[in-house]
Chain A
């Protein structure tokens, strides 16, 4: 900052001071407007979805499968079941690997290695999900056909960096005194991790999982490759492709039929409610976990 600027604070009444004060206030106003704009966009999208989706919600929307071609009515029961199963399997694949990775990074890896792994996780998180779809399609779908498991594998790759990174953050919050306490009692490192560190940070791990599940439940790109040709019925066999809520929205959003569009809105309302609720709960829990762990210091 230049030294020639008026040394007296801006309580003075000079024209220059007034101008500087006015610029400052204008900029602060613009920043506030920007924040309001983001909130307005969020409410606009949620409002649109709620207003158009709510009228189509009914019990039968949740208990019927998708209507046959050119027939109205129908629901998203098969999509809900498919999304639950596929994200469930993906979670079962991603959570153990992600948590172990975080443990390795915080407890065992020498600093250069853990820095490299952290970087690799960020890079993996940055790979476009459509590319992960292309990858899984070539690896698991070509020659074998589509399946819910293939979709889950793709979703698990998307979830892995999210879970590993936030678990690691929580593990790092665990105070050194707890770690040293475990060691001082003669426990091995492994025992300390399993009986002291993990129980302390379980809340954070659950939070990370919720956020990652919310993200995976809304993913469409990998589903296009892995689970887009399915029977119009509730499928529970994971070796078969299944309907899913995001894919249903995707196909129906491009349909010219008004009833399809209405169904897309209703399905979007269901999806957005679950995803936003998961994100909010995850976020609030993570604030709480952080506070709890900090209290143990």
Chain B
């Protein structure tokens, strides 16, 4: 840089490498290597543990209803069913409530209440799942079995979902526990989304004479719908992967029926309840096969949720 300089003095250019910088960069970079290594190891190790079950049952594992340690034959159909029913039911209850909470926090709540209410909703997510499960077994499950389920059976019993004998363990209590876990996740994301809607859009709608609800319905929600989809996917992933609380309240029974009152089981719940006492190597491997399925679901939902919200952030960035 000093060649064309008109100045008589040359500026001393530092050519010696900055060892401190290189060192810190290397150390910090190695943390990134650790991250990648851990993630690769998780995938490799879990697939490796599942290898013999994958070899034995192949994709038929997904459609086989047997889970029998005596005959050493394992299939995940009932568990997939239980996982889907409990998670989707939880989403069905949680999403409207959570989106409404997000709206309340971003649009309605008085300024003094905003932080404390948001904090309390977040604390709901901080309750350890084993505590929620304990409450589910000893308080919520019996309450459902004594009061809610008989009521549903009496009045809506013609719907297969609400048929059957009330029981304190089953899909319904599992779905309630999962609902409590999903609400804070979806609520805090929707709050951020609604807050990110540019205020000139909101004010524009209000200036055109819209009520606050009409503004939310016709401007805010369409604006963030992609983000809401991403939030719902994250909530779904959380529900599908929850093992402890579900295994405590769901009853741990294979079940392919429609009744929400009947005991059932989920993939994650079965891993939690059977791993410590797995009788055969093939059973252990089949439990790992379930973990592979959970891993695939969580990878797909998380990555696509991030791609969706990344796209939205870019779009919003351009718009502003």
Which chain A positions have C-beta within 8 A of B23?
A: 190
The answer to whether A253 and B248 touch across the interface, beta carbons within 8 angstroms, is: yes
**A35-B101, A134-B271 given as contacts; is B130 within 8 A of A220 (CB)?**
yes
The answer to whether A131 and B294 touch across the interface, beta carbons within 8 angstroms, is: yes
Choice from A38, A134, A218, A276 contacting B121 with Cβ under 8 Å: A38
**A35-B121, A271-B128 given as contacts; is B302 within 8 A of A123 (CB)?**
yes
Q: Provide the bound-state CA to CA distance between A30 and B123, in Å.
A: 22
Cβ of B148 < 8 Å from any Cβ of A? no
Cβ of A56 < 8 Å from any Cβ of B? no
* Chain B nearest Cβ from A45, distance in angstroms: 5
The answer to whether A129 and B243 touch across the interface, beta carbons within 8 angstroms, is: yes
What number of A-B contacts does a CB cutoff of 8 Å give?
Answer: 287
| Complex interface: stretch among B66-74, B155-163, B210-218, B257-265 | B210-218
Which chain B positions have C-beta within 8 A of A108?
A: 24-25, 28-29
Which chain A positions have C-beta within 8 A of B271?
A: 130, 133-134
Interface-central residue, B21, B133, B238, B244, by most chain A CB under 10 Å: B244
Q: Provide the bound-state CA to CA distance between A269 and B234, in Å.
A: 29
* Chain B nearest Cβ from A263, distance in angstroms: 11
List CB contacts (< 8 Å) of B140-156 with chain A.
Answer: none
Cβ of B78 < 8 Å from any Cβ of A? no
Cβ of B275 < 8 Å from any Cβ of A? yes
Cβ of A42 < 8 Å from any Cβ of B? yes
The answer to whether B42 and A224 touch across the interface, beta carbons within 8 angstroms, is: no
The answer to whether B213 and A254 touch across the interface, beta carbons within 8 angstroms, is: no
* Chain B nearest Cβ from A48, distance in angstroms: 5
* Chain B nearest Cβ from A259, distance in angstroms: 14
Q: Chain B: interface secondary structure?
A: helix
Binary interface encoding of chain B residues 231-252 relative to chain A, with 1 for a CB under 8 A from any of its CBs, else 0: 0001001101111100010000
Q: Provide the bound-state CA to CA distance between A103 and B32, in Å.
A: 10
Residue ID in chain B nearest A105 by CB atoms: B32
Cβ of A70 < 8 Å from any Cβ of B? no
Cβ of B189 < 8 Å from any Cβ of A? no
The answer to whether B213 and A28 touch across the interface, beta carbons within 8 angstroms, is: yes
Binary interface encoding of chain B residues 38-77 relative to chain A, with 1 for a CB under 8 A from any of its CBs, else 0: 1101100110110000000000000000000000000000
| Complex interface: stretch among A61-69, A73-81, A113-121, A172-180 | A113-121
Binary interface encoding of chain A residues 268-281 relative to chain B, with 1 for a CB under 8 A from any of its CBs, else 0: 10011001100110
**A157-B38, A193-B24, A253-B137 given as contacts; is B122 within 8 A of A279 (CB)?**
yes
**A31-B108, A135-B42, A224-B272 given as contacts; is B213 within 8 A of A1 (CB)?**
no
Residue ID in chain B nearest A252 by CB atoms: B134
Q: Provide the bound-state CA to CA distance between A137 and B274, in Å.
A: 14
Instruction: Please give the number of chain B residues whose Cβ is less than 8 angstroms from any Cβ of chain A in the complex.
Output: 96
Interface-central residue, B97, B126, B205, B287, by most chain A CB under 10 Å: B126
Cβ of A230 < 8 Å from any Cβ of B? no
Cβ of B34 < 8 Å from any Cβ of A? yes
The answer to whether B303 and A272 touch across the interface, beta carbons within 8 angstroms, is: no
Binary interface encoding of chain A residues 1-15 relative to chain B, with 1 for a CB under 8 A from any of its CBs, else 0: 111011111100000
Q: Provide the bound-state CA to CA distance between A37 and B46, in Å.
A: 39
Q: Provide the bound-state CA to CA distance between A30 and B98, in Å.
A: 11
Residue ID in chain B nearest A119 by CB atoms: B306
Q: Provide the bound-state CA to CA distance between A107 and B189, in Å.
A: 27
Cβ of B120 < 8 Å from any Cβ of A? yes
Cβ of A215 < 8 Å from any Cβ of B? yes
List CB contacts (< 8 Å) of B113-142 with chain A.
Answer: 115, 117, 119-124, 126-135, 137-139
Q: Provide the bound-state CA to CA distance between A120 and B306, in Å.
A: 10
Choice from A35, A42, A254, A280 contacting B109 with Cβ under 8 Å: A35
Cβ of B100 < 8 Å from any Cβ of A? yes
Which chain A positions have C-beta within 8 A of B34?
A: 97, 101
Q: Provide the bound-state CA to CA distance between A232 and B46, in Å.
A: 31
**A/B interface sample: 9 pairs, CB < 8 A:** A31-B108, A35-B100, A49-B134, A129-B241, A130-B244, A189-B21, A189-B24, A190-B25, A271-B131
B→A interface (CB under 8 Å): 18, 20-21, 23-25, 27-32, 34-36, 38-39, 41-42, 45-46, 48-49, 96-98, 100-101, 103-105, 107-109, 115, 117, 119-124, 126-135, 137-139, 180, 183-184, 187, 205, 208-216, 218-219, 234, 237-238, 240-244, 248, 268, 271-272, 275-276, 287-288, 291, 294-295, 298-299, 301-303, 306
